[in-house]
Amino acid sequence: MPDTTIQLAVLDMAGTTVADGGLVLRAFEAAATAAGIEPEGPRREQARRYVVDTMGQSKIEVFRALLGDEDAAQAANLAFEAAYDALVDEADIAPIPGAVEAITALRTAGVRVALTTGFSRGTQDKLLAALGWADLADLTLAPSDAGRGRPYPDMVLTAALRLGVDAVDRIAVLGDTTSDVATGLAAGAGIVAGTLTGAHTADQLRGAGATHVIASVAEFPALVLAPDSTAATVAV
């Protein structure tokens, strides 16, 4: 029987391991205004819904879909990053309760940990610095480090290659959005779990194909380190 002991945990940041006080939506409002989307009205409401539905995806891809023009998408993405970076300095950025302990417990048990994001590398680095997380994980990845962002499998597979995982079913993925779930499934991860501390509900996460749904990252080590982790039933 093949060994399916988990070797790598790939965790999302905002909404999964990091509480950012809704900065993504606040930064989006600034970017949408910069892109010429009217402050109120059906176009703005449709854009807001799309941003929530696609939470976790690479932000440039979201703006490409919304605006249908590469130059406009690039400008909106720059405005988003500038707004988010500015807000990081004034917002109450904090770890999700139990996140640091969970990551530490996984690494202590010999599981490598990668933190991933839909933000740019620069924005991710700013978040990591604000949290003091420079050395918390084995690896941090933004879409530009891997090729494509979520829902594609690139970041998970890049982490697997860089950290020397033996097989994709020995990877566990955790995120708060359906995009995180799609990424884990596309990568062939053995565990693709959703957490309820972010953008999407248990029904949405299960509907997207999550193998498990947990209350928060604090429960993740128990799932990953279970003797038969792919069959564990940690759910809410």
pLDDT of 112-158, one tens digit each?
999 999 888 888 898 898 899 989 999 999 999 998 888 999 999 99
Distance CA 205, CA 177 (A): 7
Q: Are 74 and 61 in contact (CB under 8 A)?
A: no
Q: List the single range of 43-47, 93-97, 159-163, 194-198 with lowest mean pLDDT.
A: 43-47
pLDDT given for residue 230 in this prediction: 45
The beta strands (E) that lie in the chain are given as 8-12, 18-19, 94-95, 112-116, 139-141, 171-175, 191-195, 212-214
pLDDT of 8-37, one tens digit each?
999 999 899 999 877 878 888 888 887 778
Q: What is the pTM of this model?
A: 0.85
With H, G, I as helix, E, B as strand and everything else as coil, classify residue 15: coil
Do strands 139-141 and 112-116 pair parallel, antiparallel, or not at all (unpaired)? parallel
> In the predicted model, what is the mean pLDDT of the chain?
88
What is the chain's alpha carbon radius of gyration, rounded to the nearest angstrom? 17
pLDDT given for residue 234 in this prediction: 43
Q: List the single range of 145-159, 161-175, 221-235 with lowest mean pLDDT.
A: 221-235
